[in-house]
Amino acid sequence: MCISNCPYNISSAIVFRLLEIGGWRRSVLMFQKEFAQGLCAQPGDDQYSRISVNTQMLAKTQHLLKVSRNSFRPPPKVDSSVIMLEPLPPRPNLDVNEWDSFVKTVFNRKHRTLGAIFKNKSVLATLAELPSNAAVKDRIKEIVTQTLEAKTITLCRSGHMKVEELLSTMMALREAGIHFL
């Protein structure tokens, strides 16, 4: 078990290092309230973001309690929250770095539809530059469009998609020959 009042300025680094090293069954951690809300946010929440999705891909998150700034002397400028993380079993065939690259791509504009995100010239150019996409370099837009349409998710917005839906989307794109790393 890991219990910590984490330094707020390195919260995300602590969470991802903890998830990376593993070897624990449960962590109870105190963070700045907004950061904790982001970790526990669900699809459709304003705080649902790349950090929500990446954390929830690797761990079950649960908000335990709010801690007022007035609970400390001297009081800090922000409120805090205590959360619990429980690691999930490893996902087979998942490259965590490629996953993060995919999530970064779709959450860079989380209020846009996936169809619009993958029609963006800079997104297409970035994908075309990846050596892993060399074989499909000239057909990336076509392949992505066909894959999204086949999954009927062209009009979905990443900010409203569950982790499993995002994972399924990335895996379908990989099967079609599109990689994110």
pLDDT in tens, the chain (181 residues): 889 999 999 999 999 999 888 889 999 999 999 999 999 999 999 999 999 999 999 999 999 999 999 999 999 999 999 999 999 998 778 898 999 999 999 999 999 999 999 999 999 999 999 999 999 999 999 999 999 999 999 999 999 999 999 999 999 999 999 999 9
Say if domain 2-87 classifies as CATH 3.40.109.10: no
- Dihedrals phi, psi of 59, to nearest 5 degrees: -150, 150
Enumerate the CATH 3.40.50.150 domain ranges in the chain, comma separated. 2-87
Enumerate the CATH 1.10.8.480 domain ranges in the chain, comma separated. 96-175
d(CA 117, CA 145): 11
Looking at domain 96-175, its CATH class is mainly alpha
Q: Which residues are annotated as a binding site?
A: 1, 5
Asked if residues 62 and 83 have their Cβ atoms less than 8 Å apart, the reply is: yes
Check residue 55 and give its pLDDT: 96
Q: Which residues are annotated as a binding site for S-adenosyl-L-methionine?
A: 1, 5
Instruction: Compute CA distances 116 → 1, 50, 160, 166, whole Å.
Output: 43, 18, 15, 16
Check residue 108 and give its pLDDT: 95
Interval 29-54: pLDDT, tens: 999 999 999 999 999 999 999 999 99
Q: Which helix (H) or strand (E) holds 144?
A: helix 140-150
d(CA 42, CA 164): 12
